[in-house]
Amino acid sequence: MTTSSIPQINVGLIGGGFMGKAHSLAYAAMPMFFWPAPAIPVRHTIAEVNEGLARTAAERFGFQNSTGDWRRVIEDPNIHVVDIATPNNSHAEIAIAAAQAGKHILCEKPLAPTVAEAKAMLGAVRRAGVVHMVAFNYRRTPAVALARKYIEEGRIGRVLSFRGTYLQDWSADPSGPLSWRFQKDIAGSGTLGDIGTHVVDLARYLVGEISAVNAMMHTYIHERPLQSGGADKLGASDKNASGPKGKVDVDDEVLTLLRFENGAVGSLEATRNAWGRNNYITFEIHGTEGTIFFNYERRDELQVFFNSDPADARGLRTVYTGPAHPYGEGLWPIPALGIGYGETKIIEAYDFFRAVTEGTAVRPNFEDGYKTELIADAIVRSAQQRREVEVEPVTV
């Protein structure tokens, strides 16, 4: 196959922060990993909050054009894919406008800060008939995809239970500034929407639909120093901060029990106040015939116990992901050379552009994002009402 037979697809990326960087890297690298690539993503236009920031982002991330107004991206008939990498409160407005303009959409997680916005977004992409994806990238870690393969193949039998955690420590220090992630009107919720939803996505991907929750939520640090401007510092401590403080009105910690439609039970714990934990996404899944354990901080590894193993070789053992495993054909040639955060985004871009060029659906999509919001909403109501709460049905 020659390069000329691979479609070039123009991308308009909105938001040039942390995720703007990760997605730009993925667009540049995806064809280098997966060849023949489903498409060559062309970094056409990047939008930021003003012209200066947009120009800098274009130069840094390799975009041909820049704009200080995201609406220019939507209006441009040469742009076919809109990538939304802005804080949560702008996802719905941008996505609905992009869908109405017939653009395919990759939107960062959480899909939206509220159920109502997520529902409107799903309605818009369905009406437009465009490809849509929500960027819960951790399910694209090869070891996580391998866990799903083992479960689908029945290697651990019927799933009985799921224990998921997402523990970080970047918000444990009270002198960490008031990131937008601590403000309800921008983020929607705190730890729950920011990282708890990643675990919800993994639970749904690996075990199935969640029908009910029984939750507790807590806020430990109620005010933080105002950030003086510039890029979001993601809580990086400023010990000398002596200026004014602003109110934190979101949760720091969420814990919930989970009931799955298929009869499995589980739990989810998430906090950004766990000193010493960095990106500690773990799950342990017990089935009638075995166990699977994953820890993102050792993301090349999947620990497995299969009841079918010979009696003299029993024990949790480590499988190192590599060419024999999901996405192995495009990644590195020797197991455990090292999968990074970047690779999860490269794989995400690969699957998204495959769907765009083949005209097929990809998951997790806006329906998954909407369902995740319904679960997050049930968690909030359960914590408020101090009782088990059923997840509301999909109504789009």
Residues in contact with ligand NAI by CB under 6 A are: 14-19, 47-49, 70, 85-88, 90, 108-109, 135, 137, 194, 232
Toward ligand NAI, which CB reaches closer, 135 or 346?
135
Q: Indicate whether 194 belongs to the interface with ligand SOE (CB under 6 A).
A: yes
Per-residue DSSP letters for 311-346?
A: GGG-S-EEEEPSTTSTTTTTS-SSTTS---HHHHHH
Distance of CA 141 to the CA centre of its chain: 11
Q: Select from ligand SOE, ligand NAI, none the partner in contact with residue 232, using the beta carbon and a kind-dependent cut-off of 5 to 8 Å.
A: ligand NAI
Q: Select from ligand NAI, ligand SOE, none the partner in contact with residue 195, using the beta carbon and a kind-dependent cut-off of 5 to 8 Å.
A: ligand SOE
Q: Select from ligand SOE, ligand NAI, none the partner in contact with residue 76, using the beta carbon and a kind-dependent cut-off of 5 to 8 Å.
A: none
The residue of the chain with the least Cβ separation from ligand SOE equals 194
Residue type, 159: V
Strands (E), 220-279: 223-225, 245-247, 253-260, 265-271
Among 204, 272, 286, 299, binds ligand SOE (CB under 6 A): 272
CB 165 within 8 A of CB 87: no
Number of CB atoms found within 10 A of residue 396's CB:
13
Q: Rounded to whole angstroms, how far apart are CA atoms 23 and 342?
A: 9
Both tokens of 321, joined, read 């992901």
CB of 272 to ligand NAI, least distance (A): 12
Residues 154-173: x where in contact with ligand SOE by CB under 6 A, - otherwise, as a string: --------------x-----
Both tokens of 287, joined, read 């089935």
Toward ligand NAI, which CB reaches closer, 130 or 135?
135
Both tokens of 277, joined, read 């934990």
Q: Indicate whether 189 belongs to the interface with ligand SOE (CB under 6 A).
A: no
Q: Select from ligand NAI, ligand SOE, none the partner in contact with residue 291, using the beta carbon and a kind-dependent cut-off of 5 to 8 Å.
A: none
Q: Select from ligand NAI, ligand SOE, none the partner in contact with residue 88, using the beta carbon and a kind-dependent cut-off of 5 to 8 Å.
A: ligand NAI
The site for ligand SOE, by CB under 6 A, has a size of 4
CB 52 within 8 A of CB 22: no
Q: Select from ligand NAI, ligand SOE, none the partner in contact with residue 135, using the beta carbon and a kind-dependent cut-off of 5 to 8 Å.
A: ligand NAI
Both tokens of 156, joined, read 């651990």
Q: Which helix (H) or strand (E) holds 16?
A: none
CB of 227 to ligand SOE, least distance (A): 15
Toward ligand NAI, which CB reaches closer, 84 or 389?
84
- Sequence-distant (6+) residues with CB within 8 A of 263 are none
Q: Indicate whether 195 belongs to the interface with ligand SOE (CB under 6 A).
A: yes
